[in-house]
């Protein structure tokens, strides 16, 4: 691999890393409360709110069913308003976070609803308020599966971030398309894919290891 | 201590789960609530601490009308009502110590106070050595003891047990019952135990309540219940009314008209009021009859022995009649099934 290729590859990797880390963090921060709201408002949940539950579910489904490439373009005005630009790493961050949030909410919903209902009942019996049940039982008990779900989500965001390259989003996808595809440099394409494969593997390993360590307690 | 008034409940549009159940449990009593699965007994138990909020009725624990409380007041009132769960309901990611400390933390107790109390509770249930293990590393019996220690964290006056032994093997269940019994005495607990296991009710309860299809059909002192339930549902659960195990040829011979002979086949019901040794003393010693026990079952209930026996009495018919009169004078219920030829 030539010197001239190494430098853009490193820069693109760093951009991808920043994009994925930032948008995944936002998705977790927004997705966890949404998931909690879904589980708590469910008909058999801690405080059933069927209308809210269905409305939330609908919004999340709309978010999830919109293809990322369409979402990317559709929310350009929102992106401009939020971060001042719709291109580059920062410009790709907003649509990535918006796309990852509903997915995270659904994944976390599954993780939370696997918590043994008896432990929630027990907490209530011992004088836990609703907030206590959520913060001391529901989320902590689900932590290992939340981490495992989060890993799936992050890997998904890595894939989506490569797509953001198509609209000038920066990062590895951008590099691959511009050099590899448009300039006919297959070696760049191969290098980009290799870096992505490596990145995904590292993420999966770290996530699995963390989930297992959290699980070991039980 | 606990007063349930006209509790009626249904889930959604399902048929009524509890139908006009009224029940009073005095302080310090141990009450077993028995019934078949789906009878509503677990729902009734959950009405006592409002884990299930009945649609109608009143729930009074101590002096407090629980349905009148707001969420915060209720969470404080619940500290006085411990609960033990069928599948233990321990927090898998917390250690034994942390599980028992959990109710105290919720109440905002200081770390020092919590540690002191948890250490005491763990020694009370014999788990001090495993304080830092996690639930998955414990046996079923140990997990249930963690659940019990946790239920006792706030020194409750009432302890609710939902099928406390059904997830345990027989020997462990026996230990758990013995522990519950000991602690209920030592800590002066009012105990409500939901169970489908009659052995648990027999070993633990002062009084037995029978629930069938959401209705309370019988509440009877335990010793009387196990010698003869008054409700049909109770008899179905205990197997009373069905004949005690006895040699079938003898029964059919006694019941047939052809059965004539010097031996009389009797079933004798022994209740808590039966003087000890009265049966054999009366038949064999006083009336000098030949006595042969050919079947039956007996159970210890508290200090009494109750159950039914099938007995062959050999002797003069007039003497046998006199003996039976003497037995009924001592509150021993006897039923004559018929006569048979000498068994020998």
Report DSSP letters for A66-79, one per residue.
Answer: S-HHHHHHHTHHHH
* Chain B, nearest residue to A119 by Cα: B89
CA distance A125 to chain B (A): 6
Query: Angle at Cα B77 formed by Cα B73 and Cα B82, nearest 5°?
Result: 145
Burial pattern B307-344, b for ≥16 Cβ within 10 A else e, equals bbbbbbbbbeeeebeebbeebeeeebebeebbbbeebe
The predicted pLDDT at position B39 comes to 86
- Chain B residues in contact with A125 by the CB 8 A cut-off are 49, 51, 78, 81, 83
Half-sphere exposure of B290 (CA within 13 A, CB side): 13
- Chain A residues in contact with B85 by the CB 8 A cut-off are 118, 121-122
What average pLDDT does the structure give for chain A? 89
CB distance B93–A143 less than 8 Å? yes
> Of A28-32, A72-76, A203-207, B271-275, where does mean pLDDT reach its minimum?
B271-275
Q: Which two tokens stand for residue A84?
A: 């001042």
Residue A205 clears pLDDT 80, i.e. is over it: yes
List, as one string, the DSSP characters of A106-156: HHHHHHHHTS-HHHHHHHHHTT--HHHIIIIIIHHHHHHHHHHHHHHHHHH
Rounded to two decimals, the pTM is 0.77
Residue A148 clears pLDDT 80, i.e. is over it: yes
Higher-scoring residue by pLDDT: A82, B235: A82
The predicted pLDDT at position A166 comes to 67
CA distance B205 to chain A (A): 23
For A83, A179, A186, A189, B152, the CA distances from A183, given in Å and listed in that order, are: 31, 5, 9, 10, 74
Interface residue A43 vs chain B (CB under 8 A): no
- Chain B residues in contact with A132 by the CB 8 A cut-off are 106
The secondary element (H helix, E strand) that includes residue A23 is helix A3-41
Q: Which two tokens stand for residue B111?
A: 């770390």
pLDDT single digits (tens) B50-60: 999 998 999 99
Q: Which of A129, A214, A218 sits opposite B135 (nearest CB)?
A: A218
For chain A, positions 106-145, list CB contacts with chain B under 8 A. Answer: 116, 118-119, 121-130, 132, 136-137, 140-141, 143-144
Residues of B with CB under 8 A from a CB of A: 49, 51, 71-72, 75-76, 78-79, 81, 83, 85-95, 102-103, 105-107, 134-136, 150-151, 153-154
């Amino acid at each position: 691999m030539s010197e001239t290729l190494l430098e853009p590859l490193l820069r693109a990797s760093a951009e991808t890393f920043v994009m994925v880390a930032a948008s995944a963090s936002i998705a977790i921060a927004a997705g966890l409360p949404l998931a909690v709201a879904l589980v708590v408002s469910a008909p058999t949940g801690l405080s059933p709110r069927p209308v809210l539950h269905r409305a939330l579910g609908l919004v999340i489904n709309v978010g999830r069913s919109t293809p990322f490439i369409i979402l990317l373009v559709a929310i350009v005005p929102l992106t401009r308003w939020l971060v001042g630009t719709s291109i580059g790493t920062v410009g790709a961050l907003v649509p990535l976070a918006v796309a990852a949030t509903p997915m995270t909410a659904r994944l976390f919903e599954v993780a939370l609803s696997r918590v043994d209902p008896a432990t929630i009942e027990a907490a209530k019996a011992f004088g836990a308020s609703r907030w206590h049940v959520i913060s001391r039982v529901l989320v902590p008990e689900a932590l290992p599966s939340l981490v495992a779900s989060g890993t799936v989500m992050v890997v998904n965001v890595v894939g989506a971030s490569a797509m953001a390259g198509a609209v000038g989003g920066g990062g590895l996808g951008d590099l691959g398309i511009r050099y590899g595809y448009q300039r006919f440099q297959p070696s760049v394409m191969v290098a980009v894919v290799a870096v992505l494969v490596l990145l995904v593997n590292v993420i999966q390993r770290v996530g699995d290891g963390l989930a297992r360590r959290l699980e070991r307690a039980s | 201590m606990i007063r349930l008034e006209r509790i009626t409940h249904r889930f959604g549009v399902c048929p009524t789960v509890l139908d006009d159940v009224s029940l009073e449990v005095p302080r310090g009593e141990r009450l077993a609530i028995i019934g078949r699965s789906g009878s509503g007994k677990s729902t009734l138990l959950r009405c006592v601490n409002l884990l299930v909020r009945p649609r109608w009725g009143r729930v009074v624990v101590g002096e407090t009308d629980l349905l009148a409380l707001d969420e915060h007041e209720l969470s404080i009132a619940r500290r006085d009502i411990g609960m033990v769960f069928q599948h233990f309901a321990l927090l898998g990611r917390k250690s034994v110590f942390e599980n028992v400390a959990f109710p105290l933390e919720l109440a905002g107790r200081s770390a020092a106070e919590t540690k002191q109390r948890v250490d005491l509770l763990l020694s009370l249930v014999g788990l001090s050595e495993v304080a830092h293990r996690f639930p998955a590393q414990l046996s079923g019996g140990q997990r249930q003891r963690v659940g019990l220690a946790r239920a006792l964290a706030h020194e409750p006056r009432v302890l609710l047990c939902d099928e406390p032994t059904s997830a345990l093997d027989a020997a462990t269940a026996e230990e758990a019952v013995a522990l519950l019994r000991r602690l209920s005495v030592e800590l002066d607990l009012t105990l409500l135990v939901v169970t489908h296991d009659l052995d648990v009710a027999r070993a633990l309860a002062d009084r037995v309540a029978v629930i069938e299809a959401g209705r309370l059909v019988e509440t009877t002192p335990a010793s009387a219940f196990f010698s003869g339930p008054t409700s049909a549902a109770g008899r179905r659960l205990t197997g009373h009314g069905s004949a005690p195990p006895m040699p079938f040829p003898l029964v059919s011979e006694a019941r047939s008209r052809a059965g004539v002979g010097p031996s009389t086949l009797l079933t004798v019901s022994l209740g808590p009021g039966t003087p000890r040794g009265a049966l054999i003393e009366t038949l064999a010693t006083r009336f000098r009859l030949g006595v042969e026990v050919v079947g039956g079952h007996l159970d210890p209930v508290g200090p009494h022995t109750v159950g039914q026996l099938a007995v062959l009495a050999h002797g003069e018919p007039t003497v046998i009649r006199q003996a039976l009169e003497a037995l009924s004078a001592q509150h021993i219920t006897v039923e004559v099934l018929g006569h048979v030829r000498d068994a020998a």
